[in-house]
Amino acid sequence: MPPQRTWWIHALRPRRRPVFWETSRQLKGLRYLGAIALLAVGYWLLVQLVFKFPLPDNLRVYPIWPPAAYSQLILFLMGLKFWPAVALGTLLNNHFSGVHDPLTSLLSALNNTVQALLSSWLLLRTNFSHRFDHLRDVGLLVICAGFIPAAVSATLGILICCLQAPNITKEFMTVWFDWWIGNFSGVLILFPVILTLPEWSHQFRTLNRKFLGILWIAGLSLLSWFVFAAPVRADIAPFPLEYLPFPFIVWGAFRLGVTGAAIAIMVTTSFAGWGFIQNVGPFFDFSERPEQAVLALQAYICVLIITALALAATMAERAKVQQELEIEKEKSEQLLLNILPQPIATRLKQQEGTIADHFAEATVLFADIVNFTQLSTELSPQMLVILLNEIFSTFDVLAEKHGLEKIKTIGDAYMVVGGLPEHRHDHAIAMAEMALDMQRAIVAFSQKHDRPFTMRIGINTGPVIAGVIGQKKFIYDLWGDTVNIASRMESAGIAGEIQVTQDTYETLKEHYTFDCRGEISIKGKGLMMAYLMRERAASAIVPTG
């Protein structure tokens, strides 16, 4: 909890840094003052540019006021410390516009500065994302950047005007609304266009997208010109067409996201504004007075912008959710592949039913760490698990290297099979290579940990049945005499040796050297011939996994 004396500081502190915070924090001293001066001049030049466009008859305010958006963008992008640029720009504009009353100039500068500060603080405080990743960002733009700051500015502005012209109080609400909607419209137009500029090149990075984008922009521009600015439109189509560009706008929002929405907003509102200045377009055709045309234009702009941004933000949310689902799906599939072989996992996802396969020949290996039970009494549980995980992880790498399938671990025993779930003719050779690598790995493991680790390894070759059992915890397992005998070869083996059956010996004798151990007693089978595998024969050609 923050101290009682400073709780209000934490309450007012923005939750998000300005977009160009890293750049703005480096502007200090003369560089900061220079930036303030440049931004102030930029504000003044923008106002002068707006004044270059004549207003239709009987109109007192511009239907769209871009300087309001400019001042708010300065503070949102660069930081609240650049508020002097807004105040200085207003004073500069008042001076060159013939406003010689110091009090009026100061109050006007205060009004514009308060609007910009309030808007930027609300956006940064509410964690507004300039990428419009969520639908809430569109709502925050409308409320925190448009509605509230414009209402405050209109209220303060009217009060300032009342000081100069008291008779304006008779038209208080009309002037207030015109002031508010002009600032509001300017913010809705410029904010998405400026904030998405860095993404434009990314959206059109491929030749196909560039070609598609050019066709789309050309089509939207041509249609918008005809609807809003073509002098002959009223003769060709004397009925309302202002919503004709909406299919292009919707397509851009769906296909290109927020970037498409911003471009559509820029193109459509530009032609709508140009037609309005020229006293042509649907807003004049069906309005009795210029004030009605202004209101129709402003309402159209607000509906267009909010619709386009809402569609784009909704698509961005859906794309993000889809991406998260794909990531979770990949995680689930990876977890499934950690339990089951890939071909079996694929069959299981296809709801094939009971999975059980018979393989005429496969090679099964069992390995067990000798005297591990005694070792477990000497180590802590954590160290015991760490050691087992290290050695079995090494074996997992070896199994993947040789193209074999790990089946399971049972305590300190390790089971692996070759020749399934997909058949390979050299499964016995691959298993022999695996066994030799396991011996080398256990020697290196002993040297690393300075403990005398040894293993017994048993191998058998023959027919097996493989399948998936369980409903909640799947396991891919093997059954048959081949599996049981391989396990007995390990348990009846000699520490540090690789013991194989007669069948495995017959398969490998041309590729490896063996010592005949003779007949040994196997539980449930009686006497069986066993061989101890030594090393690869000098003339053998052994494939890798």
Q: Model confidence over 303-360: pLDDT tens digits? A: 999 999 999 999 988 988 888 888 887 877 777 676 777 777 777 776 666 777 888 8
Q: Are residues 370 and 507 in the same domain?
A: yes
Token code pair at residue 294: 């202004």
Residue 390 shares a structural domain with residue 361: yes
User: Distance between CA 366 and CA 364 in Å, rounded?
Assistant: 7
Rounded CA-CA distance 254/316 in Å is: 9
What angle do helix axes 83-96 and 102-125 make, rounded to 10 degrees? 150
Q: Are residues 363 and 227 in the same domain?
A: no
Q: Report the half-sphere exposure of 504 (CA within 13 A, side-chain side).
A: 35
Q: How far apart are CA 145 and CA 147, in angstroms?
A: 7
Residue at which a domain ends, from 195, 225, 244: 195
Whose CA is closest to 122, among 100, 141, 99, 103?
Answer: 141
The Cα 157–Cα 164 span in angstroms is: 11
Domain that holds residue 137: 11-195
CATH number of the CATH domain containing 369: 3.30.70.1230
Q: Are residues 421 and 510 in the same domain?
A: yes
Considering the domain architecture, whether residues 523 and 376 belong to the same structural domain is answered as: yes
Q: Does residue 478 sit in the same domain as residue 372?
A: yes
Pick from 141, 174, 195: which residue ends a domain?
Answer: 195
Domain count, the chain: 3
- pLDDT attached to residue 190: 94
Does residue 345 belong to any structural domain of this protein?
no
* Residue 450 in domain: yes
Task: Please state the φ and ψ torsions of residue 466, each to the nearest 5 degrees.
Answer: -125, 145
Same domain, 42 and 17: yes
Q: Is residue 347 a part of any domain in this protein?
A: no
The pLDDT of residue 311: 94
Pair 279, 409 in one domain: no
Catalogue the long-range contacts made by 158-165 (C-beta closer than 8 Å, 24 or more residues apart).
160/104, 160/107, 160/108, 160/111, 163/103, 163/104, 163/107, 164/101, 164/104
| Amino acid identity at 126 | T
The span from the CA of 227 to the CA of 230, in Å, is: 7
In this structure, the answer to whether residues 79 and 152 fall within a common structural domain is yes
Q: What residue has token string 């994302």?
A: 129
Mark whether 362 and 324 lie in a shared domain: no
* CA 418 – CA 361 distance, rounded (Å): 9
Residues 270 and 188 in one domain: no
Q: Which pLDDT value is given to residue 186? A: 93
pLDDT given at position 340: 72
Q: Is residue 543 one of the residues assigned to a domain?
A: no
The confidence score (pLDDT) of residue 1 equals: 46
Choose the final residue of a domain: 162, 195, 228. 195
User: How remote is the C-alpha of 278 from its chain's centroid?
Assistant: 45
Q: Is residue 114 part of a domain?
A: yes
348 inside domain = no
Establish if 298 belongs to a structural domain: yes
If you write DSSP's letter for every residue of 374-432 in order, what string do you get?
Answer: HHHHHS-HHHHHHHHHHHHHHHHHHHHHTT-EEEEEETTEEEEEES-SS--TTHHHHHH
**Are 386 and 478 part of one and the same domain?**
yes
Using DSSP bridges, classify how beta strands 475-479 and 498-501 pair: parallel, antiparallel or unpaired.
unpaired
5 within domain boundaries: no
pLDDT given at position 68: 94
For residue 174, the model assigns a pLDDT of 81
Whole-number pLDDT of residue 36: 95
Low-confidence residues of the chain, pLDDT below 50? Answer: 1-2
Domain containing residue 49: CATH number: 1.10.1760
